[in-house]
C-alpha cells in the first residue's frame, strides 16, 4: 500500500528563530516589501494622520517599547489597508536628564562639578564636550532602536525619523515661548521646589510620577520647643530631621483640642488630644510614641483649644546659628511663633503641631508667604549645608541626617529631643537616578497656567478618549496642576531663549534664529554654524530693550516635555524631510493637524505628553492637537519591577 504524503512538512524541534527572522527580513528587502507598503496610498485623497510619541534614544529597547510599537503598527496597517495616505514617521526623544545621566555613568562622573571639569580648567570646553557626547549617544541608540524595530516587522519611514534635538524642533519651541511671553505667561518665580541633589536640578510637578515614590524607612524625630513665659513645651514631629535648622514657626489647628502631658512633674509637653485622631492606627502609633517616652496625662488637667495657642513664642535648638539669627532679625514679630493653619494641620500621623520650614518645603513656603515668615535656606544644590550654619556647614543633609539627631540628643542634655522613631513611608525619588529628593527655595522659570487653563480644558473636551475615563483623568490634572516649571539647571537640552538683564531685571524672549541674529550685538560669529545648544548659543549677547545694558542668555535648559509637546508643529513636513509645513505651507499642514490618532501607555502620559501637546496647541492654535487618543496598560513581565525592566524609560 502506497504511503500517504503528509499534509505538512515535518518541522525540526530545534528552530533557529533569529535565523528565520533574518531570512524574512532579507526577503522583504529583496522584494521591496516595505517600500511598496509605504508608497501604497501615496496618491490617495484620504489622509490618516498618526503622530508617533517619540521613544527615548538612550538605550536598546525594552519589552515595553516592543509592546507599544507593535500596538502602534496595528493601527497604521489597518488604515493603510483601507487606502489612507500616511506619513509613517517615527520619532526619537533626544534631550534631557535621562541621556545626561547615562553619559555621566559612562564617564564615571559623580556630580555636575565633574561635568564642568571634563577639560580641566575650561568650563565652556567641558560643557561642549559633554553635550557632544550626549548627542553621539542619542544617534548611537537611535540606530540600534531602528534596527530592533525593523526586526519587529514595524514598517516606518526609517530614513526620515524626527529627532527632538533638531534645529526645527528647538526653534519651534522658541516660537511657542515667544507667543507665551506675548501673552504675559512667562515669568521668573522664587519657590520651594523638589530638587535632586545628585543631578543638581529642580524636578517639575510633571516629572514626579506615582511610580517614582518608594517605600523607605527613615528615622523620624519628635522634638520639643520650650514656650517662652510658659511652663510647657510644644511637641512637633518630622520625617525630615535635616530641615529642623530651617524651622521658623509651628502650625496648629485652631479647632483642635490640645492635651497637656507630664513627666515626673518636671517636663510638660503639649500635643493634640488623641481623641482628635480619627484613624485608629494613627492614634495607636501616636500613643505608643508619647506614652513610651514616659509622659502621662494627669486626670483633671483640662485641654487647651488650638486657637488659644496662636501667637505664642518659643525657643529653638538652633537659635545661636548665624543664619537663624538673620531670620529672627528679618521678621521678629513672626519668628518662632505659633500660627493658625487649619487646612494643613490634620489629625493623622504626627502630634497635631506642624513643623514649618519655608526654606525646605512647598506647602511650608506658601504658608510662609501668607503669614510673613522668614525663609532660612539651609542646603545647596548638592544638599550640603550652607555656610553660617556652624558645625553643620559643608556636611550633607540627606546622606547624614544623624548629625542633626545627634546634636538634638546632646544639646542642653536633650532638652529639645523627646525621642526618635523609625517609620516606613512613601517618599519621592528622582525619576531618572532614583536619588531621594529634597526641597530647596530657588529661582526658576515658569509658564503661568491660570490664563490658559480654561482654554486647555475646552480643547481637552473636544478629544475622544479611549477608555472614556481618560477625559476625567486629564481634566483632573488640568484642574489641579501648578504653573509649568520649564527650567533645568543642566546642560543637554533646549536652550531656553530668555536673555535677562542683570541691571534692571527686564528679560527678552527670542522667538527665532532670525530674531536672535537681528538683535545680536556680540558673539554671533562664535554661534553661527552651531545648533542652538549650550555652550554655543550662550556666546550671543543682545541689548536690553529697557535700559540698554548688554545681556546674556539665562544658563538654564528646558523641561524635556517641551521637546515632545511641540512635535505637532515641528515634525509635519513634506515627505518627512523638509522644513516644517507650519512655516512653509500652513494649508498643507492643516491636512495633517490635528492628528487623527495617537496612542501611548498610561503611566505619566496624562500629565506629560498628552498635557504638553494640549498646552502648546492651546497657546499656538487654540484647538486640539489630536482627535482621538487610545491609552493602554504597560506590558511588564510578572516578577519584574519597573526599575529593573525599563532600561530606557519614557520620561
Q: What distance in Å separates the CA atoms of residue 610 and residue 598, rounded to the nearest whole number? A: 9
415 and 282 in one domain?
yes
Q: What distance in Å separates the CA atoms of residue 205 and residue 477, rounded to the nearest whole number? A: 11
Residue 444 falls inside a structural domain: no
Q: What angle do CA 87, 151, 563 make, to 5 degrees?
A: 45
What mean pLDDT comes out for the span 356-373? 95
Per-residue pLDDT at 392: 97
- The answer to whether the beta carbons of residues 24 and 609 sit under 8 Å apart is no
Residue 345 falls inside a structural domain: yes
Residue 598 falls inside a structural domain: no
Range(s) of the domain holding residue 545? 501-555
Per-residue pLDDT at 533: 98
Residue 148 falls inside a structural domain: no
DSSP 580: B
Residue 417 falls inside a structural domain: yes
The residues that bridge with 446 in the sheet, in sequence order, are 187, 485
381 and 258 in one domain?
yes
384 and 259 in one domain?
yes
For the stretch 231-255, pLDDT in tens is 999 999 999 999 999 999 999 999 9
For the stretch 151-175, pLDDT in tens is 999 999 999 999 999 999 999 999 9
Per-residue pLDDT at 641: 38
- Give the model's confidence band at 78: pLDDT under 50 very low, under 70 low, under 90 confident, else very high: very high
Q: Following DSSP, what letter does each residue of 324-391 receive, concatenated?
A: HHHHHHH-TTTTTEEEE-TTT--SSSS-SEEEE-GGG-HHHHHHHHHHT------B-TTSBBPSSSGG
What mean pLDDT comes out for the span 48-59? 96
Domain end residue (candidates: 397, 428, 459): 428
Query: What is the CATH classification number for the domain harbouring 372?
Result: 3.90.740.10
Q: What angle do CA 466, 467, 473 make, to 5 degrees?
A: 100
Q: How many domains does the chain have?
A: 2
- Give the model's confidence band at 3: pLDDT under 50 very low, under 70 low, under 90 confident, else very high: low
303 and 387 in one domain?
yes
Q: What distance in Å separates the CA atoms of residue 555 and residue 524, rounded to the nearest whole number? A: 17
- The answer to whether the beta carbons of residues 439 and 360 sit under 8 Å apart is yes
pLDDT greater than 60 at residue 500:
yes
535 and 422 in one domain?
no
C-alpha cell at 215: 517605600
Strands 541-543 and 550-553: antiparallel
Mean pLDDT of the chain: 92
pLDDT greater than 50 at residue 497:
yes
Q: Is 644 helix (H, G, I), strand (E, B) or coil?
A: helix
Count Cα neighbours of 547 within 13 Å in the Cβ-side half-sphere.
11
Per-residue pLDDT at 635: 52
For the stretch 548-587, pLDDT in tens is 999 999 999 999 999 999 999 999 999 999 999 999 999 9
The residues that bridge with 268 in the sheet, in sequence order, are 262
Q: What distance in Å separates the CA atoms of residue 185 and residue 445, rounded to the nearest whole number? A: 10
Sign, CA torsion 553/557/559/560? positive
For the stretch 187-239, pLDDT in tens is 999 999 999 999 999 988 777 766 677 888 999 999 999 999 999 999 999 99
Among residues 509, 449, 513, 506, the alpha carbon closest in space to that of 482 is found at 449
C-alpha cell at 555: 544658563
Q: What distance in Å separates the CA atoms of residue 244 and residue 221, rounded to the nearest whole number? A: 10
Query: Number of H helices and number of E strands within the chain?
Result: 21, 26
The b-or-e profile of 507-546 (16+ CB within 10 A means b, else e) is: bbbbbebebbeebbeebeeebeeeebbbbbbbbbbbbbee
Q: List C-alpha distances in Å: 169 to 55, 560, 565.
A: 15, 12, 10
Strands 595-601 and 557-558: unpaired
Q: What angle do CA 170, 175, 181 make, to 5 degrees?
A: 125
Domain end residue (candidates: 376, 406, 428): 428
Phi/psi zone of residue 506: left (φ > 0), alpha (ψ -120 to 50 degrees), beta?
beta
Domain end residue (candidates: 555, 573, 588): 555
225 and 336 in one domain?
yes
Per-residue pLDDT at 642: 36
Q: What distance in Å separates the CA atoms of residue 15 and residue 444, rounded to the nearest whole number? A: 58
Residue 410 falls inside a structural domain: yes
Q: Is the pTM of this model over 0.85?
A: yes
Q: What distance in Å separates the CA atoms of residue 316 and residue 361, rounded to the nearest whole number? A: 19
382 and 250 in one domain?
yes
Residue 461 falls inside a structural domain: no
- The answer to whether the beta carbons of residues 394 and 384 sit under 8 Å apart is yes
Among the listed ranges 231-245, 263-277, 324-338, which one has the minimum average pLDDT value? 263-277
- Give the model's confidence band at 643: pLDDT under 50 very low, under 70 low, under 90 confident, else very high: very low
421 and 286 in one domain?
yes
Residue 117 falls inside a structural domain: no
410 and 274 in one domain?
yes
Q: Following DSSP, what letter does each residue of 254-285 receive, concatenated?
A: TTSEEEEEEETTTEEEEEE-GGG---HHHHHH
505 and 411 in one domain?
no
Q: List C-alpha distances in Å: 476 to 9, 269, 358, 457, 471.
A: 59, 42, 27, 10, 8
- The answer to whether the beta carbons of residues 483 and 447 sit under 8 Å apart is yes
- Give the model's confidence band at 645: pLDDT under 50 very low, under 70 low, under 90 confident, else very high: very low
Amino acid at each position: 500500500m502506497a504511503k500517504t504524503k503528509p499534509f505538512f512538512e515535518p518541522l525540526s524541534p530545534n528552530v533557529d528563530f533569529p535565523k528565520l527572522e533574518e531570512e524574512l527580513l532579507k526577503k522583504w528587502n529583496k522584494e521591496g516589501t516595505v517600500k511598496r507598503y509605504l508608497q501604497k496610498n501615496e496618491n490617495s485623497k484620504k489622509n490618516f494622520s498618526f503622530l508617533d510619541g517619540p521613544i527615548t534614544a538612550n538605550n536598546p529597547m525594552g519589552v515595553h517599547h516592543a509592546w507599544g510599537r507593535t500596538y502602534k503598527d496595528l493601527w497604521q496597517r489597518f488604515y493603510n489597508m483601507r487606502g489612507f495616505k500616511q506619513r509613517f514617521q517615527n520619532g526619537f526623544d533626544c534631550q534631557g536628564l535621562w541621556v545626561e545621566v547615562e553619559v555621566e555613568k559612562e564617564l564615571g562622573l559623580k556630580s555636575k562639578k565633574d561635568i564642568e571639569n571634563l577639560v580641566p580648567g575650561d568650563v565652556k570646553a567641558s560643557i561642549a564636550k559633554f553635550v557632544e557626547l550626549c548627542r553621539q549617544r542619542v544617534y548611537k541608540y537611535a540606530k540600534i532602536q531602528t534596527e530592533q524595530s525593523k526586526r519587529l516587522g514595524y514598517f516606518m519611514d526609517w530614513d526620515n525619523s524626527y529627532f527632538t534635538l533638531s534645529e526645527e524642533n528647538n526653534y519651534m519651541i522658541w516660537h511657542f515661548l515667544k507667543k507665551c511671553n506675548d501673552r504675559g505667561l512667562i515669568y521668573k518665580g522664587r519657590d520651594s521646589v523638589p530638587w535632586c541633589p545628585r543631578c543638581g536640578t529642580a524636578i517639575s510637578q510633571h516629572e514626579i510620577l506615582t511610580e517614582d515614590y518608594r517605600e523607605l524607612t527613615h528615622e523620624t524625630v519628635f522634638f520639643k520647643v520650650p514656650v517662652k513665659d510658659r511652663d510647657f513645651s510644644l511637641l512637633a514631629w518630622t520625617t525630615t530631621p535635616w530641615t529642623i535648622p530651617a524651622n521658623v514657626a509651628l502650625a496648629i489647628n485652631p479647632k483642635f483640642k490640645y492635651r497637656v502631658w507630664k513627666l515626673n512633674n518636671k517636663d510638660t509637653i503639649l500635643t493634640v488630644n488623641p481623641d482628635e485622631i480619627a484613624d485608629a492606627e494613627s492614634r495607636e502609633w501616636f500613643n505608643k510614641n508619647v506614652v513610651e517616652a514616659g509622659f502621662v496625662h494627669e486626670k483633671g488637667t483640662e485641654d487647651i483649644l488650638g486657637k488659644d495657642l496662636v501667637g505664642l513664642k518659643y525657643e529653638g535648638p538652633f537659635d545661636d546659628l548665624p543664619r537663624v539669627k538673620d531670620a529672627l532679625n528679618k521678621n521678629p514679630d513672626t519668628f518662632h511663633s505659633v500660627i493658625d493653619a487649619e487646612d494643613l494641620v490634620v489629625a493623622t500621623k504626627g502630634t497635631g503641631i506642624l513643623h514649618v520650614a519655608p526654606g525646605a518645603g512647598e506647602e511650608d513656603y506658601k504658608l510662609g508667604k501668607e503669614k510673613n515668615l522668614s525663609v532660612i535656606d539651609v542646603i545647596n544644590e548638592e544638599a550640603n549645608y550652607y555656610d553660617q550654619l556652624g558645625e553643620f556647614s559643608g556636611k550633607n543633609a540627606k546622606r547624614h541626617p544623624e548629625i542633626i539627631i545627634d546634636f538634638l540628643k546632646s544639646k542642653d542634655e536633650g532638652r529639645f529631643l523627646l525621642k526618635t522613631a523609625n517609620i516606613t513611608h512613601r517618599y519621592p525619588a528622582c525619576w531618572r537616578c532614583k536619588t531621594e529628593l529634597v526641597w530647596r527655595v530657588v529661582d526658576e522659570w515658569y509658564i503661568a497656567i491660570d490664563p490658559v487653563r480654561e482654554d486647555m480644558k475646552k480643547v481637552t473636551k473636544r478629544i475622544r478618549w479611549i477608555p472614556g475615563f481618560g477625559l476625567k483623568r486629564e481634566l483632573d490634572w488640568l484642574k489641579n496642576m501648578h504653573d509649568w516649571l520649564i527650567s533645568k539647571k543642566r546642560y543637554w537640552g533646549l536652550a531656553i531663549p530668555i536673555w535677562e538683564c542683570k541691571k534692571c531685571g527686564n528679560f527678552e524672549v527670542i522667538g527665532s534664529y532670525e530674531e536672535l541674529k537681528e538683535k545680536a550685538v556680540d558673539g554671533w560669529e562664535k554661534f553661527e554654524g552651531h545648533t542652538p545648544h549650550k555652550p554655543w548659543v550662550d556666546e550671543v549677547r543682545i541689548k536690553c530693550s529697557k535700559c540698554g545694558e548688554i545681556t546674556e542668555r539665562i544658563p538654564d535648559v528646558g523641561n524635556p516635555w517641551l521637546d515632545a509637546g511641540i512635535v505637532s508643529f515641528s515634525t509635519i513636513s513634506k515627505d518627512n524631510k523638509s522644513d516644517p509645513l507650519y512655516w512653509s505651507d500652513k494649508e498643507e499642514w492643516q491636512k495633517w493637524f490635528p492628528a487623527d490618532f495617537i496612542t501611548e501607555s498610561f503611566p505619566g502620559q496624562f500629565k506629560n505628553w498628552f498635557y504638553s501637546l494640549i498646552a502648546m496647541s492651546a497657546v499656538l492654535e487654540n484647538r486640539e492637537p489630536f482627535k482621538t487618543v487610545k491609552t493602554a496598560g504597560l506590558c511588564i513581565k510578572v516578577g519584574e519591577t519597573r526599575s529593573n525592566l525599563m532600561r530606557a524609560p519614557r520620561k
